[in-house]
Chain A
Amino acid sequence: MNDEEYWLALARAPRLKPINFLHLLNHFGSPRAIFEASSAERQVLKLSPYLTNYLQNPNWYLVEKDIQWLTQQSHHLLTLYDPNYPQILREIYDPPPLLFVKGDYSLLSSRQLAIVGTRRSTNEGKQIAWEFANALSHQGFSITSGMALGIDGASHWGALAATGKTIAVLGQGLDKIYPPQHQMLAKKIVQTGVLVSEFTPDTPIKREHFLRRNRIISGLSLGTLLIETPERSGALSTARCAIEQGREVFAVPGSIQNPLTKGCHQLIKDGAKLVEKLEDIIEELPSY
């Protein structure tokens, strides 16, 4: 078994959260060392019985499938230790130990701005997203989002219409495109941008995975721009992640009669920067 296979095997350990994966890595130094450690060495960490069992009996069959997936064209794996793993993402509290990538992985280390918002956006919201994504793309930013319907999709399309550099962080394995309406979008993104997921390629769609994915969207980006974000929405959770990660948060205001902008307005009240035009964003970000 090579190192990569041990990473993939550990990624499949049941109920192992990224933060615990990191604790193990810090303690043992590498996934291989974790698998090869004696039970006495492992006992020090008071591992759960699930994990102990799994470590004794990893699912090499599925790991083999992941390896096959990785042999396909433009498919990549970036482990936390890989020099190509995006540095800015490595800095967050709970970075994903592995990233599955379809497309140009070097984009993950480019200057990114996240644009997120509701799936049920108005036409005006989509237009705003498209225009900001397009303009920021022309300014040299890669546009990062979650490939959801509504604001996310409009942001990706806006970037595709400019430089094509856009990153979609998925909440499921890269084998599945969700939502199905975005098949074409995903295809386009793979050509000039990149699809990325912390989940193994066969991971099905699960609600809680979408929330986990949000920290990667903000974690990859210098700042997050919120457009049409209702209260208690996924986009708002991305904003909270950005705040926790010490990244800039930008919000586009809207009519007080539009319930979709309630989250944006709340963020502005809490200190997010109100954004009307491109310069409002550019002037807040370090230029290098």
Chain B
Amino acid sequence: MNNYPLKSQNTEEEYWLALVRAPGVGPVKFAALLKHFEKPRKLFEADPSEWDARKIKDRLRNYLQNPDWHAVEKDIQWLAQPNHHLLTLHHPDYPPLLREIHNAPPVLFIHGDSALLSTKQLAIVGTRNPSEYGEKTAREFAEYLSHQGFTITSGMALGIDGASHWGALAATGKTIAVAGTGLDRIYPPQHRELAYRIAETGALVSEFLPGTPVRRDNFPLRNRIVSALSLATLVIEAPERSGALYTAKNATKQGRELFVIPGSIYNPLMKGSHQLIKDGAKLVETAAEILEKLQISPSPTANPNLFSHSTNTIELPDSQSLADSPSKHTSTTPEPSMSPAPPSDLGEDYIRLLNYLGTGTTSIDNLVEQSNLTAGEVSSMLLMLELRGLVAVQSGGLYARTN
């Protein structure tokens, strides 16, 4: 037991982690304790009489006297990995919108770019079993809004969540997946590849300690973070009693805007969505409307035609505009906050990528090597090319040109 440092030698961060592990201390209780004791260390170091004064129950007292430093040490090891971060509620980088809610998570574990959490976000949520229409809508809206400077936040579930993340990856790559498990495991397993790409250009986030397994109860908790991080939530295909509906209700409770895509009344996946509209959520048909409602004017650098009208076809920048773009792909963009490279900037890279593909089949790794781009960039570009029907995935995850 005493292989581990004495209490006084522990860092503040370790005290936060120790308190997260305390029995019976959820986000609300945590906040109440912080309010009185200021920081976790002071709670642990307080005189037991002070614990009495706060009516701290025996179970917690016992824990405070004997915290699980062994487990905390494991968290610290997890955090020591590259690109793994911890944001406590008191950290200046803790997302301000999330801090506003009454049950804000006391700590956030992050794998990826923690600065993204404080960017302007739009949540996109919906059913795990969407129709083709729902999936396509999610991907297109995410892609457009990503180009417009939004970070796309969702829950990395199958279906709408996944399509939204992919859409953002195909644009700027800025997307946040709030997980309902510890970040050392990927759920659902089908999204291993997605999680890998999100960690590269976006961020995986969880309030749950590494090692937290899949628990049904944790998913509704996760949903409040998805909505709270975001200025607004867009609901696409939410059946009755779905998780997406919880997220939507959270958004309303948290005073955030709620947008809903309508659909056929014969589509049972739309029942929850339509109920939300009846209850006052805003019906939206185009992604441009969302910008308008949030009073953000469309970025002139992004394709202005994309999504100003709904159509029957996927609107992606045509190869003409990709090729004719006068601007060069450059990493020294003048506005560091204006993340999204306009789609036309990607033109040369796309053509190069197609050339690397040649006439055979190629792996992503191979393309990464040849192109000097990151795996994330190559993946998102391939997705975009795939959507346009220019490349196709072959068996074994290899890519090939279609013509």
Where the two chains meet, the residues of A that have a C-beta atom closer than 8 Å to any C-beta of B are 124, 128, 252-257, 259, 261-262, 265, 268-269, 273-277, 280
Q: Given A262-B285, A268-B277, A276-B271, are A254 and B262 neighbors across the interface (CB < 8 Å)?
A: yes
Say whether B128 faces chain A, with CB atoms less than 8 Å apart. no
Q: Determine if A253 and B277 form an interchain contact, defined as CB atoms under 8 angstroms apart.
A: yes
A268 CA to B289 CA, complexed, in Å? 14
Q: Among B274, B310, B312, which residue has its beta carbon within 8 angstroms of that of A274?
A: B274
Q: Determine if B263 and A276 form an interchain contact, defined as CB atoms under 8 angstroms apart.
A: no
Which chain A residue shows the least CB distance to B263? A255
Looking at B264, B282, B311, the one whose CB has the most chain A CB atoms below 10 A away is B264
Residue contacts A-B, CB under 8 angstroms, 21 given: A124-B266, A253-B264, A253-B274, A254-B263, A254-B265, A255-B133, A255-B263, A256-B285, A257-B312, A261-B262, A262-B285, A265-B283, A268-B277, A273-B278, A274-B262, A274-B274, A274-B277, A274-B278, A274-B283, A275-B265, A280-B278
Say whether B252 faces chain A, with CB atoms less than 8 Å apart. no
Chain B 227-269 per-residue mask, 1 if CB under 8 angstroms from chain A, else 0: 0000000000000000000000000000000000111111000
Which chain B residue shows the least CB distance to A264? B262
A230 CA to B325 CA, complexed, in Å? 36
Q: Determine if B283 and A268 form an interchain contact, defined as CB atoms under 8 angstroms apart.
A: yes
A258 CA to B263 CA, complexed, in Å? 9
A9 CA to B261 CA, complexed, in Å? 54
Q: Among A256, A269, A273, which residue has its beta carbon within 8 angstroms of that of B282?
A: A269
Residues of B within 8 A of A252 (CB): 265
Which chain A residue shows the least CB distance to B131? A255
Which chain A residue shows the least CB distance to B313? A257
Residues of A within 8 A of B379 (CB): none
A280 CA to B278 CA, complexed, in Å? 10
Residues of B within 8 A of A274 (CB): 262, 274, 277-278, 283
A254 CA to B264 CA, complexed, in Å? 4
CB distance from B138 to the nearest CB of A (A): 12
Name B263-308 residues within 8 Å CB distance of A. 263-266, 270-271, 274, 277-278, 282-283, 285-286
Residues of A within 8 A of B271 (CB): 276
* Extra pairs beyond A253-B262, A254-B263 (4, CB < 8 Å): A252-B265, A253-B277, A268-B262, A269-B283
Where the two chains meet, the residues of B that have a C-beta atom closer than 8 Å to any C-beta of A are 133, 137, 261-266, 270-271, 274, 277-278, 282-283, 285-286, 310-312
Q: Determine if B264 and A124 form an interchain contact, defined as CB atoms under 8 angstroms apart.
A: yes
Residues of A within 8 A of B286 (CB): 256
Q: Determine if A128 and B265 form an interchain contact, defined as CB atoms under 8 angstroms apart.
A: yes
Q: Given A268-B262, A274-B274, A276-B265, are A253 and B283 neighbors across the interface (CB < 8 Å)?
A: yes
Q: Determine if A265 and B274 form an interchain contact, defined as CB atoms under 8 angstroms apart.
A: no
Residues of B within 8 A of A257 (CB): 133, 310-312
CB contacts between A and B, total, < 8 Å: 55
A255 CA to B285 CA, complexed, in Å? 9
Which chain B residue shows the least CB distance to A127? B266
Shortest 8 CB-CB distances between A and B: which pairs? A253-B262, A256-B285, A276-B265, A256-B310, A274-B277, A268-B283, A276-B274, A265-B285
CB distance from B92 to the nearest CB of A (A): 40
Residues of B within 8 A of A256 (CB): 137, 261-263, 285-286, 310
A268 CA to B264 CA, complexed, in Å? 14
CB distance from B238 to the nearest CB of A (A): 14
Q: Determine if A265 and B265 form an interchain contact, defined as CB atoms under 8 angstroms apart.
A: no
A134 CA to B63 CA, complexed, in Å? 67
Residues of A within 8 A of B283 (CB): 253, 265, 268-269, 274
CB distance from A197 to the nearest CB of B (A): 33
Which chain B residue shows the least CB distance to A280? B278
A221 CA to B286 CA, complexed, in Å? 33
Which chain B residue shows the least CB distance to A227? B265
A265 CA to B270 CA, complexed, in Å? 15
CB distance from A269 to the nearest CB of B (A): 6
A56 CA to B274 CA, complexed, in Å? 60
Looking at A124, A257, A273, A275, the one whose CB has the most chain B CB atoms below 10 A away is A257
Looking at A253, A265, A269, the one whose CB has the most chain B CB atoms below 10 A away is A253
Residues of A within 8 A of B278 (CB): 273-274, 280
CB distance from A232 to the nearest CB of B (A): 15
A256 CA to B310 CA, complexed, in Å? 6
Q: Given A253-B274, A276-B274, are A265 and B312 neighbors across the interface (CB < 8 Å)?
A: no
Residues of B within 8 A of A254 (CB): 262-265
A265 CA to B274 CA, complexed, in Å? 12
A261 CA to B264 CA, complexed, in Å? 10
Which chain A residue shows the least CB distance to B282? A269
CB distance from A225 to the nearest CB of B (A): 12
Residues of B within 8 A of A253 (CB): 262-265, 270, 274, 277, 283
Residues of B within 8 A of A280 (CB): 278
CB distance from A229 to the nearest CB of B (A): 13
Q: Given A265-B285, A269-B283, are A255 and B311 neighbors across the interface (CB < 8 Å)?
A: no
Q: Determine if A255 and B274 form an interchain contact, defined as CB atoms under 8 angstroms apart.
A: no
A257 CA to B267 CA, complexed, in Å? 14
Residues of A within 8 A of B264 (CB): 124, 253-255
Residues of B within 8 A of A276 (CB): 265, 271, 274
Residues of A within 8 A of B263 (CB): 253-256
Residues of A within 8 A of B311 (CB): 257
Residues of A within 8 A of B137 (CB): 256
Residues of B within 8 A of A265 (CB): 262, 283, 285
CB distance from A254 to the nearest CB of B (A): 6
A280 CA to B277 CA, complexed, in Å? 13
CB distance from B54 to the nearest CB of A (A): 50
A124 CA to B312 CA, complexed, in Å? 17
